[in-house]
Chain A
């Protein structure tokens, strides 16, 4: 069951079954729902065994990049020379994405359990959940659950009578998108500006506080307990060979039924938009869909009949990202919408790399100029040039993130730009 709407196409088994049920936040009730069974099983397993199950399940990182989760865990040193850390990335801030907040809000114990199992798999003694600062109400729900879990012996020393100790701390951010980038997150968690760092060293070698670290997304970790309980084949009954399992979709923009839906990977994007979410309200025509959050390339309505897998959307020239389609109907001014997106990235650039700090602002300023009717045709060439200058030249991919929607809007909606420019050279 999704929230606030549900649909028959939903799988709704793994992540969203208890969305909308406030009772699920309480440990006592949660245990009657089968809570912490995965942790109990994991405590009887060798850490390497846990990693193998997750690897075999094909679970891929749900924060946008889709990196295989089990494989990521194997990068951690097998022999411990000092502390290891797990960071759960709950700094959800990609425009369009609002899935992690629903997990924190409705099933906090599922996330805690996922963190503990992952921590065990990577030999970590402390898990940090980095929640974006704006999520006060959901952080408080999570905090209540953490305290309950500590008091009941699910977190802390000698967990559930075993020999294994693990602490868990909820750490809150303060409004920086870039803290969602894994190296930015680690900079922020260790008490700094959320500035991304060049890799290598990779987090598994030298991460937060200089120790081996794994960073996983909330939705990724929330999928782990049921995979451990039911096995990798069970998880693979959904999705495709390369993109197994279910995914929480966050559908927003001009839609009849926006919201969260847990759907099988591979469902047609067209069905998500029209069947599940009911298309655009008031019988309006859809003009564009940004399928994976604001940093992905725009698709036109005739490009939507693609399987929503990591590979499927890549073939369609875009990206599954966080599976957060933003739907723009016929009344939306594409130039203005693109300027809104560019404003976001200009505002959130951390300022370390000149290309990004200056380039994202230039994009926003040029788009604003076109939007208010003062643009020139040469501005379009400048924007294309900026697309080149902003790609692959910076420490992190924030600069690239503005290029994907920008270039696609220029390619696919050039007419709208030209109409606003009106032939000025």
Chain B
């Protein structure tokens, strides 16, 4: 880990829903060009942490910093404006719209002049830009005019990731990106995530696919009952170690 200011940092984050404590004193950091895995059993607090980091939930206490500046998010929209893009499990794609239309959804390019002021879209420019983005990420999709509903799970995932990257996100939060994918597609997404890392984006990978987490992540943060129990570094552990941390048996051994 570098000593530079982290891209995203959570300090002593706690979150309680009434009397139920979901997160206790979480410290978390993510550097640029780093892939950090977030693993834990169901109910360990993964999704609560993800929701807190992207502003869907507000922490009960603790601080959130982006590039050293403290921030508070009251909605995912605000976190997005600060460069945190979440690719949700359901991908949030409009199936009837094409790849290019989905990539630009909500951020359509307008034509210049009077037509633009009337709200007319510049479809050619969006098309070209979508092609360029997919190309730069080495995503193979036959046509950006293809409708998203017609594509495979892996292609849809790739489109969702491309959309997140295209909008210059600094932090990419992937929530179970390969859960619903065939093995070959899952490998393609893994390749895509590595490519994103090389662009200097920090990636948080929430996944149950432990071999993939092991292969892709520079660090893995293990959550258990709302606490960070350990951080595993690349090359210093194997998947079995990770499992014993997740289930908590590693705690009893020590």
Partners in one complex: no
